[in-house]
Amino acid sequence: MSNSIKKLIQSGKTALGIEFGSTRIKAILVDENNNPIASGSHEWENRLENGIWTYTLDDIWTGVRHCYQEMAVDVKNKYGVALTTIGAIGFSAMMHGYMVFDKEGKLLVPFRTWRNNNAAPAADKLTELFRYHIPARWSVAHLYQAILNGEEHVKDIDFQTTLEGYVHWKLTGKKVIGIGEASGMFPIDIKTGKYNPVMLKQFNELVDGKVPFKIEDILPEILVAGQEAGRLTEEGAKLLDPSGNLHAGIPFCPPEGDAGTGMVATNSVKKRTGNVSAGTSVFAMIVLEKELSKVHPEIDLVTTPVGDLVGMVHCNNCTSDINQWVDVFGDFARLIGVNMSKAELFNALYVESESGDKDCGGLLAYNYFSNEHITQVDAGRPMFVRTSESKFNLANLFRAHLFSALGALKVGCDIMLKDEGVKLDAITGHGGLFKTPHVGQSYLAAAINAPVTVMKTAGEGGAWGIAILANYVVTKEEGESLADYLDHKVFAGQEGVTLAPDPDDVAGFDEFAKRYVKGLPIVRKAVECMD
């Protein structure tokens, strides 16, 4: 087996996917059948500077080079060969945000990530203008907010892109973006797969005389899954792999956001399918059969990597607060002389939560490490609340935190599934919340009252998804759709576990959700009272 993989690597019958997550950059190398054969990673953290969540350019390039190097070392150790060529490469990243450059390619202001809510006033104005929901994290909202603020750099903008679009541009020279990520930069016309021309005109009229450009001239070109999006340049090869081993000329797929790669990694690109990605943030994506009846501020309209309409509920917070609670219990374990790995701690505490009361015993938690637009909470204030009558024990404590991780998501999903009557045949979960078998999966099933499937590949996440999109460029057959490619060449025979919702868990989650919504004024008040 090792020798056959070695030959695949040497002949370039592989694909590489690299994804910039919020806390980790991950690289996955796959074979021609999309099986992971090597990986690498790099831990990183965003920083709050001058009130803005950001990563520096040095963070980006140090991280991606280290991640690539780890993957290349993994190849060397496993197969005894230096990595010199790859069949295709793809980059993905946390969605949207704000990266703007001048004519010389200089970054004009520090990268503003999706976590920033400072563009909310602009987003509200654009939503009203377009009659189309524009979230505060979308690129156009950040751009318009900078214009409203009268920021000096705006006059020098020549190009606006996202994190993965930036890395792709530097490695290939191409200013392009995948349609899924493009739909979070500026609204898309589903019929043409281009930026919505009516809204482009409206935006240009809105900012006429305030900027020296038309917005369509600074946005990247839109490409769809399966199109070649450029090739690795000599300069790009040295940037990614300073050792000089990697050769130029490797084709790239369109760079996509983590929402699009999540759909691919869970085989959720067909209509009436969906997925929930649960890590630092959590979002649900459901591929729609038709447009929603009205604008909902809780639901974003984006697209699949091939351009089909998707209803998205995106919440800024999921596991960050839980991670810190687990760290506290780890501190206690060390204090009493017990050595437990992070994975052991998570498993023990997650499993213990299953023995808690169905409604968490009256406990209430808010996992708001940062702001949460769906519930109108303007800043991060993680909270745990109980009455003197609440059943306060370890199982209920962790059950409440896990329910809280899905609390805001449930608020948005109920609008789509209950109010709009959106049909959902299958939903797949992926991301860190599902690493402990059964627990997160059963709670998600209770939250949305629908069966949830977790594949064995769930832990691979978006890096695997973008590797598949890279492979699709070079291995698809003539006329083969992405949905067919995934069905026949990626997920055929894949093992997965499907859990139907337990009626008692559904009732318990509904009870918790009522308490969660009723208690929101508490956390909003904390924003006022705690600086």
Distance CA 6, CA 39 (A): 15
Nearest to 283 by CA among 254, 334, 318: 318
Alpha carbon distance, N-terminus to C-terminus of the chain: 58
pLDDT tens for each residue of 3-32: 899 999 999 999 999 999 988 999 999 999
Question: What is the model's pLDDT at position 277?
Answer: 85
- Please state whether 508 falls in left (phi above 0), alpha (psi between -120 and 50) or beta: alpha
| pLDDT bracket for residue 512 (50, 70, 90) | very high
- Please state whether 96 falls in left (phi above 0), alpha (psi between -120 and 50) or beta: left
| pLDDT bracket for residue 191 (50, 70, 90) | very high
Contact 461, 23 (CB under 8 A): no
Strands 194-195 and 188-189: antiparallel
As a whole number, mean pLDDT of residues 83-108 equals 96
Distance CA 266, CA 295 (A): 27
Contacts with 198 (C-beta within 8 Å, 6 or more apart), sequence order: none
Number of Cα atoms under 13 Å in the Cβ half of residue 481: 10
Distance CA 520, CA 376 (A): 9
Distance CA 165, CA 167 (A): 6
The encoded tokens of residue 226 equal 């399966």
| pLDDT bracket for residue 373 (50, 70, 90) | confident
The encoded tokens of residue 306 equal 């091939």
Q: How many CB atoms lie within 10 A of CB 36?
A: 15
pLDDT tens for each residue of 290-321: 989 999 989 999 999 999 999 999 898 999 99
According to DSSP, the residues that pair with 282 across neighbouring strands are 278, 315
Distance CA 392, CA 389 (A): 9
Question: What is the model's pLDDT at position 1?
Answer: 57
pLDDT tens for each residue of 257-291: 988 998 998 899 999 999 998 888 898 999 999 98
Residue 97 confidence (pLDDT) above 60 = yes
Give 3-state DSSP helix, strand, coil % of the chain, rounded to 5.
45, 20, 40
The alpha carbon of residue 496 and the mean position of all alpha carbons in its chain are separated, in whole angstroms, by 22
| pLDDT bracket for residue 459 (50, 70, 90) | low
According to DSSP, the residues that pair with 377 across neighbouring strands are 372
The encoded tokens of residue 420 equal 């709009």
Q: What angle (nearest 5°) sits at the alpha carbon of residue 420, between those of residues 414 and 422?
A: 85
Q: How many CB atoms lie within 10 A of CB 198?
A: 11
Residue whose pair of structure tokens reads 């002389």 in the numeric block: 337
| pLDDT bracket for residue 457 (50, 70, 90) | low
Nearest to 499 by CA among 413, 423, 459, 441: 441
As a whole number, mean pLDDT of residues 368-386 equals 93
The encoded tokens of residue 18 equal 């690299």
Nearest to 377 by CA among 368, 367, 390: 368
According to DSSP, the residues that pair with 189 across neighbouring strands are 194
Phi and psi of 374, rounded to 5°? -60, -35
- Please state whether 209 falls in left (phi above 0), alpha (psi between -120 and 50) or beta: left
pTM for this prediction: 0.84
- Please state whether 248 falls in left (phi above 0), alpha (psi between -120 and 50) or beta: beta
Contact 458, 434 (CB under 8 A): yes
Domains of the chain: 2-256 (3.30.420.40), 320-405+504-529 (no CATH)
Cα dihedral 359/365/369/370 (nearest 10): 80
Question: What is the model's pLDDT at position 455?
Answer: 79
Distance CA 266, CA 282 (A): 15
Contacts with 85 (C-beta within 8 Å, 6 or more apart), sequence order: 12, 246, 247, 250
The encoded tokens of residue 232 equal 């690795």
Query: In one letter, which amino acid is 226?
Result: G
Give the mean pLDDT of the chain: 94
Contact 32, 291 (CB under 8 A): no
